[in-house]
């Protein structure tokens, strides 16, 4: 099965290192030069976000919503990294790349992260 026949995805918790912008910059460095930019289109509704794209994948680092907009069951101050295909392949199998990305981030040592379900 080739990469074009799978939809890669991931959902990772990230401990903040400063502001959302600071953490996005550091995460981009750790992930090999990804250039995160602020999501001024508000694709993730109440979540402020920074987005980067590479090799057909979108990386979205989501911040913490404003208290009045926070609908999570267990609110926290941690950030979330979502990984999803820029264009989803219909009928393709799904492959969770969370563990692979977590290992890469942790091997650098500058950020703390974990898998989210």
Q: Is residue 116 part of a domain?
A: yes
Cα 4 versus chain centre, distance:
21
For residue 83, how many other CB atoms are within 10 A of its CB? Answer: 18
Please give the tally of structural domains in the chain. 1
For the ranges 9-13, 14-18, 89-93, 95-99, which has the lowest average pLDDT?
Answer: 89-93
Q: Is residue 27 part of a domain?
A: yes
pLDDT in tens, 72-83: 778 789 999 999
pTM (2 d.p.): 0.90
Q: Name the band, by pLDDT with cuts 50, 70 and 90, for residue 1.
A: very low
Q: Is residue 5 part of a domain?
A: no
Q: Is residue 78 part of a domain?
A: no
Q: Is residue 80 part of a domain?
A: no
What's the rounded Cα separation, in Å, for the pair 104 and 98?
Answer: 10
pLDDT in tens, 14-51: 999 999 999 999 999 999 999 999 999 989 888 999 99
Residue 102 lies in domain: 13-67+93-117
């Amino acid at each position: 099965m080739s990469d074009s026949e799978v939809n890669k995805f991931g959902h990772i918790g990230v401990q903040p290192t400063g502001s959302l912008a600071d953490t996005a910059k550091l995460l981009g460095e750790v992930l090999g030069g990804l250039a995160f930019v602020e999501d001024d289109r508000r694709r993730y509704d109440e979540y402020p976000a920074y987005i980067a794209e590479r090799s057909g994948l979108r990386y979205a680092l989501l911040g913490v919503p404003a208290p009045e907009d926070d609908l999570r069951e267990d609110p926290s101050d941690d950030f979330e990294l979502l990984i999803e295909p820029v264009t989803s392949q219909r009928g393709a199998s799904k492959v969770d790349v969370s563990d692979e990305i977590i290992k890469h981030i942790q091997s650098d040592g500058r950020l703390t992260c974990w898998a989210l379900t």
